[in-house]
Structure 1
């Protein structure tokens, strides 16, 4: 590995816009390129556009019903 290559910081793609971003301590928004991209990503999670695969979560009513059935000895 050359000296020049060793001193270059790692570059990653911004998860929002795919722009190359230097992974350095001075980049307060990493892995994003900017505050704007960071907030756009947060907004996508907040409005549930982004999701983690898996079973859907139970709501409180379903949990209460499951507990009542278990207390009565039903499955």
Structure 2
């Protein structure tokens, strides 16, 4: 595990302490949860961007599959 030192404005530190106490957690646990959430969001965004890149130029096929999934397949 890595140790991290943050310099925060006093008001932010006080609010973090209040929030952490209200949730029954330490500021460290609260920051760990926030960092984990940020990493998960960044990973999800990267995954969606990669999928979008792979799908470029396939709009018509995608719409065709969507129509089929919705039960609107008119290819018969």
TM-score range, shorter chain: 0.3 to 0.5
Which structure carries more helix by proportion? 2
Q: TM-score, normalised by structure 1?
A: 0.33
Which structure carries more strand by proportion? 1
